[in-house]
Amino acid sequence: NPHQLQMEGKSGLERAYCRAKGGSPGFKVAILGASGGIGQPLSMLMKMNPLVSVLHLYDVANTPGVTSDISHMDTGAVVRGFLGPQQLENALTGMDLVIIPAGVPRKPGMTRDDLFNINAGIVKTLCEGIAKCCPKAIVNIISNPVNSTVPIAAEVFKKAGTYDPKRLLGVTMLDVVRANTFVAEVLGLDPREVDVSVVGGHAGVTILPLLSQLKPPCSFTSEEAAYLTSRIQNGGTEVVEAKAGAGSATLSMAYAAVKFADACLRGLRGDADVIKCAFVPSVVTELPFFASKVRLGRNGIEEVYALGPMNEFERAGLEMAKKELAGSIEKGVSFATK
Ligand code: NAI
């Protein structure tokens, strides 16, 4: 009886929230930018994830509506909405995982780097909140340009004295999702049978699929390899152009973000052999950040894997990727340290 529950001072939902926040099994997850094109389907899919006990939805607009809507789903996670900077700290306090899809997306003709001027500041502010309120949380950065926003996050955490390179991950999962789909199409396989490793970064030529390492092992002609590499690198632009001004990938991105967040949570739970590609602090190349396969565990990133054997085409791609990445990383670092 809702009336009776109200009489006891707290609604049923309020009591469920207190119970869920106070150590019932499951993880506490915040989504920053929850009302956006990615944020909404991402919030919905995280509400469906049985590993999540508490889901905090934060945005500078429209969170009351999104939260009300999602809270009616009869899954276990208890949902709370937070609106505007004055509620950021409450949104972040106690979180185990923070996912950041806040910021503007591309329009036709734009590169991810064109988003830097707006999104760099947004990511900086949100990470300052994380450093203050949940410095031990795993952080998944989706906001573009990922090649620069991850270095910005690292600098913010260093400045705050909370930096743990094992807990900071740029989400490149969509590149892997696309690679699996496009490769399966060429091979006439079910995408679920294909596992492409995509390394480097998350923009143009920095997106480097290692087709020679494909599981199951397959060989491609040089035309096929060139076609697939280019399609994977330009998959985002394909969507931006098809949407013709209405934004970039949101639904496939939400799917990829949840696939990645779920892997982070399974790692936190202690599952063995949780391995995904991500853009992370790295010593795999001479660059301070690089995307490669990582093993996720109780502390976040437990192991960053080396790139493994590459063919000549891939080695040439790696050199191009590193050149562009170096500039994007430096741009992020100098923004955050200026
Ligand atoms: P959108 O514009 O639909 O949504 C962005 C949301 O962020 C909006 O709800 C907005 O109110 C919110 N926001 C703006 N400033 C904020 C702040 N200071 N704090 C909290 N929230 C704030 O954009 P969409 O399509 O959801 O894309 C979001 C970001 O994800 C873009 O930067 C886009 O480039 C990036 N992206 C990354 C991908 C990846 O593979 N890593 C793939 C696709 C997009």
pLDDT digits (tens, 9 = 90+) for 140-174: 999 999 999 999 999 999 999 999 999 999 999 99
Is the pLDDT reported for residue 204 higher than 80? yes
Ligand 1 contact, 110 CB (< 6 A) = no
Q: CB pairs under 8 A, 24+ apart, for 20-26?
A: 20/53, 20/54, 20/77, 20/78, 21/53, 21/54, 21/78, 21/94, 24/53, 25/53, 26/50, 26/51, 26/52, 26/53, 26/54, 26/76, 26/77
Residue 24 above 70 pLDDT? Answer: no
Per-residue model confidence (pLDDT) at position 13: 74
Name the residue of 56, 60, 128 to mutate for ligand 1: max ligand atoms within 8 A of Cβ: 60
Q: Which residue has the higher pLDDT, 11 or 74?
A: 74
Percent of the chain with pLDDT over 90: 90
Radius of gyration of the chain (CA): 20
**Predicted confidence band at 338 (pLDDT cuts at 50, 70, 90)?**
confident
Is residue 235 in contact with ligand 1, taking CB distance under 6 Å? no
Cα separation of 190 and 273, whole Å?
23
Q: Which two tokens stand for residue 164?
A: 């743990």
- Is 197 a pocket residue for ligand 1 (Cβ < 6 Å)? no
Q: Please indicate if the annotation marks 328 as binding a ligand.
A: no
Is the Cβ atom of 225 under 6 angstroms away from ligand 1? no
pLDDT, residue 216, reads 87
Q: The tokens of 303 are what?
A: 């192991």
Active site residues: 202
* Strand pairing report for 138-141 and 168-170: parallel
Residue 7 scores a pLDDT above 70:
no
Sign of the torsion formed by the C-alpha atoms of 309, 303, 253 and 106? negative
Q: Name the closest-CA residue to atom 13, ligand 1.
A: 102
Please state, for a pLDDT cut of 70, what percent of the chain lies above it. Answer: 96
pLDDT of residue 23: 59
Whole-number Å distance, alpha carbon 209 to ligand 1 midpoint, is: 25
pLDDT at 14 > cutoff 80: no
Query: For the chain, what is the HEC assignment?
Result: CHHHHHHCCCCHHHHHHHHHHCCCCCEEEEEECCCCCCHHHHHHHHHCCCCEEEEEEEECCCHHHHHHHHHCCCCCCEEEEEECHHHHHHHHCCCCEEEECCCCCCCCCCCHHHHHHHHHHHHHHHHHHHHHHCCCCEEEECCCCHHHHHHHHHHHHHHHCCCCHHHEEECCHHHHHHHHHHHHHHHCCCHHHCECCEEECCCHHHEEECHHHCECCCCCCHHHHHHHHHHHHCHHHHHHHHHCCCCCCCHHHHHHHHHHHHHHHHHHHCCCCEEEEEEEECCCCCCCEEEEEEEEECCEEEEECCCCCCCHHHHHHHHHHHHHHHHHHHHHHHHHHC
Q: What is the pLDDT of residue 8?
A: 60
For 302-311, the pLDDT digits (tens) are 999 999 999 9
**When comparing pLDDT for 46 and 10, which is higher?**
46
Task: Give the pLDDT band (50/70/90) at residue 17.
Answer: confident
C-alpha torsion 113→126→87→66, nearest 10: 50
List Cβ neighbours of 109 (8 Å cut-off, separation of 6 or more). Answer: none
The ipTM, to two decimals, is: 0.99
**In the prediction, which pLDDT does 22 show?**
67
Computed over every residue of the chain, the mean pLDDT equals 95
- What is the average per-residue pLDDT within 64-88? 98
pLDDT in tens, 98-131: 999 999 999 899 999 999 999 999 999 999 999 9
For residue 16, what pLDDT band results from cuts at 50, 70 and 90?
Answer: confident
